[in-house]
Amino acid sequence: MAQLMLKDLVIKYGKVTVLNKLNLTIKDGELVTLLGPSGCGKTTTLRSVSGFLPVHGGDIFLNGKRITDIAPEKRGIGLVFQNYALWPHMTVFKNLAFGLELRKIPAEEIKKRVARVLASVKMEEYADRFPRQLSGGQQQRIALARAIVLEPDILLLDEPLSNLDALLREQMRFEIAAIHQRLGITTMYVTHDQTEAMVISDRIVVMRNGIMMQEGPPEEIYMRPRNKFVAGFMGTTCFIEGAVVKADGGRSVIRTEEGLELQGVGTDLKVGEKAFAAIRPEYITLDSRVRQSSGSSEINRFKAKVDRSNFTGEFFDYQLKLGKHFIRAKEYEAKALFELGKDIEIKIDEDRLPIVHDSDFEAATV
Ligand code: ADP
Ligand code: MG
């Protein structure tokens, strides 16, 4: 059982406030990711939880017990950083055993625990290697194993995959998710990579300038972003600004200056206020397929001009001009190649078009 709670946490560097009353609870066994651009305060949050950074306001609770002033080594927290920081002169076995030896665990027990944890990160064959004899991905797995073997109540991972190349990073995402599912350690994970956050998290906390902008399950953050900042951080998003002309239930319509009407999904919008349609390239249907798929519905059907086209290997990446706005669209059908300058019909899926507030719309309070 391990539950972590941050209450009105304030952290300053000198006179600069980096975290301003951050509130966050991580439930037992949950993996929560802090997601946000570089400098938004993710590492700062993690270091304050680990105890390596003094707190200027608020409190940290572990299982309901206040640990704000407790020394780092007494918190029962495991840490893994971006640079794996394995001890170069020790074998893999020794890297894992060292912390257990310091705790005076009997040698037999150490052997068993190290073997078990190495198996859980699929590295049992590598116990006798030195870190320099391992690839980046293997080293990162050992860094994770070294934290896990101490059986921490809480695991803190700070951009653990950012030093790996793209392919390995993708594999390791699944592995971290799988390891978390097997072991169920309560985990706070930090990344600036939205796909990584989507894949591994039970819940995502989007941060900007030390403030929580939104928190929720990955699908909710992606499909129901509250504001422009969150929508723009999740995937490729093109924004079209307009005034809200209809807002009932979850349905909203905005009208642009030039009179385009876009219908989508929005929450707590008011008629008359400024808002943005957050258009995702994957939810646009192009040309002849519009007529096949959408029947007679005129909602979000427009004429657009093909402005640019790139073939990525996986799909065609189009830039389209819709009125005076540029939007992007993905087309997976290799035959569907449109000439530059051609006018085509498009349809934006109204169920997958978030209508969002401006970025400075009040941050989520939890
Ligand atoms: P992130 O991990 O999200 O990239 P950090 O938590 O490292 O961001 O940093 C948050 C802010 O605090 C940044 O503006 C950064 O420049 C500042 N900062 C971080 N560490 C220090 C420090 N030791 N002294 C002064 N400012 C710092
Ligand atoms: Mg950081």
**Residue type, position 167, single letter:** L
Among candidates 226, 225, 240, which has minimal Cα distance to 284?
240
pLDDT, one tens digit per residue, over 111-158 is 999 999 999 888 999 999 999 999 888 998 899 899 889 889 999 999
Q: Parse the chain into domains and list their residue ranges.
A: 4-223, 228-356
Fold held by 4-223: Rossmann fold (3.40.50)
Cβ–ligand 1 distance for 82 under 6 Å, the answer no
In angstroms, the Cα distances linking 265 to 46, 97, 227 are 34, 53, 12
**Number of the ligand 1 atom closest to the C-alpha atom of 46:** 6
Handedness of CA 151, 70, 5, 46 (dihedral sign): negative
Of all protein residues, the one whose alpha carbon is nearest to atom 26 of ligand 1 is 13
Question: How many angstroms is it from 44 CA to the middle of ligand 1?
Answer: 6
The CATH T-level fold of domain 228-356 is OB fold (Dihydrolipoamide Acetyltransferase, E2P) (2.40.50)
Helix axes of 166-183 and 107-120: crossing angle, nearest 10 degrees: 120
Would the pTM count as exceeding 0.85? yes
Q: How confident is the model over 156-172, as pLDDT tens digits?
A: 999 988 888 888 888 88
Regarding the beta carbon of 37 and ligand 1, being less than 6 Å apart is answered: no
pLDDT at residue 366 tops 50: no
Q: Which ligand is nearest to the CA of 45?
A: 1
Whether 143 lines ligand 1, by a CB cut-off of 6 Å, is no
